[in-house]
Amino acid sequence: MSRLTAAFIFTIVLWLLPQAIALGSESRSGAPKTAAPLAPRVEALVARMTLDEKIGQLNLVSHAGSIDGQLQSVRSGKVGAVLNVVHPDDIRAFRNAARTSRLGIPLIFGLDAVNVLRIVFPPPLAWAATWNPALAEEAAEAVARESAAVGVTWTFAPMVDVTRDPRWGRVIEGAGEDPFLAAAFAAARVRGYHKGGLATAVKHFVGYGAPEGGRDYNGASIPVSELHDRHLPPFKAALDAGSETVMAAFNTVNGVPVSANRDLLTGLLRGRWGFDGFVTSDYNAIGELVNHGVAADLGEAARKALLAGIDMDMEGNAYASHLADEVSAGRVSVEAIDEAVRRVLRVKFRLGLFDENMREAPPSTPDESWVRGIAREVARQSMVLVKNEGGMLPITPAIKTIALIGAFADSDYDSSWYGPAGLTKPATETLHDAMRKRLAPGQKLLFAKGVSDPCGKSFADEAEVVRTAEAADLVLLAVFEDCEMSGEGASRADLGLSGVQQQLLDLVAATGKPVGLIVNTGRPLALAAADTKASAVLITWHGGTEGRTALAEILTGERTPSGKLPMTFPRSVGQIPVVYSQLPTSRPPGHDRYTSRYVDEEVTPLYPFGFGLSYTSFSYSDLTLASPRIGRDGVLEVSVRVRNTGKRPGHEVVQLYTRQMVASRSRPIRELKGFAKIFLEPGEERIVNLRIAARDLGYHDDDGRLILEAGAFRAIVGGSSTATLAADFEIAGE
Ligand code: BGC
């Protein structure tokens, strides 16, 4: 993205804000406006509905098998929304079926349109690694526009779970370990999906990102204060940005499954936060209340979920098959069902789904080159250079022979592309081709597959690997953590390179040639062993359709890396959780045995949060606070001089952390409170200003109340969470 585009988007966002406010809660910006006030329309419709039709509105079914049976259910008013219907013809058939139902209530078409409909974008964790929410907003808009064009109306995104345990496969779907960063990306993604024409379901409310042992679906134990400080902020940000719906988490939090947790779904979300959209369950989560051992059967599960505040049952068949009986038996009131139906209808009205034009003419497919352009920019800005000994990268024309090793390097494999809507996979350049195009005259590119498949499950030809490496001046080794090892149901106990890829690296390193390691991964890996064998390490995430091209641009110096880690990379699994925002301990880590440390491992991570190198360098100086003393309603204003001290233009992510030095409870040693991604030409410098409202320096107590204590604070500014440039300030008492 050019700086011009960024500035333009920024202006647009500012410009849209008053418009969105003017529309009030009746219709979100972008959706057709309803002329009549909403409540009477909703009430009039509810008054005409039978109990079965009401329950039908709460039923979200997945498209599977033959369409005919499902169309019949829609015609008879038994379905309120569908998911995974992506072929435009099927969507049309479902729409028509809904139209011919007795009341003609439209369906919502849901899909995990997260980072791909047709063009594969890097995954959301990579979006966060750009530290560029405006770019993430564009990416979300592009995915949404592709999806809206086939008729999808609702995305099950953004996932905003804060994740501090890389063993959990779903870290790939979120923005990493920090609530401030996650909140910025949550809001940006909601805005982007909305601009592209989709409603959003912010998920998974709440605490799904902290499963014990990093094992998917496992319970989480989260103190209330921590829930509010760490896990809830991105949800609040997404709702403030206008997310129409919320998806509840599968797991238990403090022993209670969220899908049956009235305190969270009704007390907090609706009561305290005033959310008036609807809450959907996750896939079969209501049925799984039986597995959790909080319901004896599906009927009890349906009752508990509805009364807790789940409005829509995703593919659980619990509401459809049991709510009517629960009403007859007097265990669930019709009023409770009406309330859930109102929430669903309200969203349908807000989305303009009752509007005929909206139903007939889905928006047109966006221009492919526009979508690809954004995907390429996300890939470029997300790659994180974590090691570059002796300035090994970028490869200069002085390097005459380069060996490219790894099956991934010659593959267009994208495991996150799932071919919806019968579309053909978009053309994807391999790294091998992208590199060949960019070499200087006289430079030679050798290639050896090395392993049998992109994920390196077994060796192909070890002798060829050694021969190829020996014939080169430098080796680029591409390793890959397959998506089968990332995402839902893909927790790992070992975070080393998968398959035989560490052996492959050892083999290459043994030739004595300098190795640049390219790590295609969906999560932080424990790369200590790999790091010692490589001169350069570049984390590329899963790059998607444009990823290999962007990677070649970076390897050859056409572009300068600017990504920063949104999650800490541990040295070993035993360190987990290892995050930058830890609490201080009674005995800070030292050399003495009786300090907070390991006897067999360092305490520090391999690559810290917020860290990422560039091909240029930056200096920070003149950290200034507008005032060293701010009131409780005041704003901390920080400015710092940042200079590009290297020889290339480049982006830098300026990060502001704070620490409350003394408080009633122990506070993290630092917390991210602001950031800005800036671009500087060589020798250029800029004063960067960052502001934080004093109230955002507070924390929550065990009742979830925000506390802001007067006293001493420290502001720390720099290019990573290990920054040292600091200034002290104070929050004044009453
Ligand atoms: C996932 C959700 C997803 C849903 C529908 C579930 O298994 O947890 O995140 O939106 O499936 O695909």
pLDDT digits (tens, 9 = 90+) for 26-40: 334 344 334 458 999
pLDDT band at 21 (very low <50, low <70, confident <90, very high): very low
**Ligand 1 closest atom vs CA 173:** 9
Asked whether the predicted pLDDT for residue 577 surpasses 50, the reply is: yes
**Ligand 1 closest atom vs CA 157:** 10
Q: Are 541 and 125 in contact (CB under 8 A)?
A: yes
Q: Model pTM?
A: 0.94
Residue 311 Cβ inside 6 Å of ligand 1? The answer reads: no
Q: What would the pLDDT profile of 124-177 be if each residue is shown by its tens digit? A: 999 999 999 999 999 999 999 999 999 999 999 999 999 999 999 999 999 999
Contacts of 476 (CB under 8 A, 6+ apart): 395, 402, 403, 404, 405, 409, 435, 515, 516, 518, 555
**How far is ligand 1, taken at its centre, from the CA of residue 282, in Å?**
6
pLDDT band at 625 (very low <50, low <70, confident <90, very high): very high
Mean pLDDT of 674-683: 98
Judged by average pLDDT, the poorest of 10-14, 48-52, 586-590 is 10-14
Give Cα separations from 633 to 128, 583, 636 (angstroms). 30, 26, 10
Q: Which of 84, 112, 155, 245 to mutate to test the pocket of ligand 1 (most atoms within 8 A of CB)?
A: 112
Residue 283 Cβ inside 6 Å of ligand 1? The answer reads: yes
Q: What would the pLDDT profile of 272-318 be if each residue is shown by its tens digit? A: 999 999 999 999 999 999 999 999 999 999 999 999 999 999 999 99
Q: What would the pLDDT profile of 53-98 be if each residue is shown by its tens digit? A: 999 999 999 988 789 999 999 999 999 999 999 888 899 999 999 9
pLDDT band at 233 (very low <50, low <70, confident <90, very high): very high
Give me the residue label for tokens 């190198």.
Answer: 613
pLDDT > 70 in the chain, percent: 93
Mean pLDDT of 5-17: 29
Mean pLDDT of 639-645: 98
Active-site residues: which are they? 282
pLDDT > 90 in the chain, percent: 88
Q: Are 49 and 341 in contact (CB under 8 A)?
A: yes
Judged by average pLDDT, the poorest of 15-24, 537-546, 575-584 is 15-24
Provide the b/e sequence for 448-465 (b: ≥16 CB within 10 Å).
bbbbebbbbeebbeeebb
Which residues is 640 bridged to in the sheet? 688
Residue 342 Cβ inside 6 Å of ligand 1? The answer reads: no
Asked whether the predicted pLDDT for residue 734 surpasses 80, the reply is: no
**How far is ligand 1, taken at its centre, from the CA of residue 123, in Å?**
15
Residue 63 Cβ inside 6 Å of ligand 1? The answer reads: no
First-to-last alpha carbon distance for the chain, in angstroms, is 46
Residue 377 Cβ inside 6 Å of ligand 1? The answer reads: no
CA-based R_g, the chain, Å: 26
Q: Which of 63, 283, 315 to mutate to test the pocket of ligand 1 (most atoms within 8 A of CB)?
A: 283
Distance separating alpha carbons of residues 374 and 136, to the nearest angstrom: 9
Q: What is the pLDDT of residue 419?
A: 54
Q: What would the pLDDT profile of 96-131 be if each residue is shown by its tens digit? A: 999 999 999 999 999 999 999 999 999 999 999 999
Residue 488 Cβ inside 6 Å of ligand 1? The answer reads: yes
Residue 203 Cβ inside 6 Å of ligand 1? The answer reads: yes
How does the average pLDDT of the chain come out, rounded?
93
**How far is ligand 1, taken at its centre, from the CA of residue 111, in Å?**
9
**How far is ligand 1, taken at its centre, from the CA of residue 283, in Å?**
6
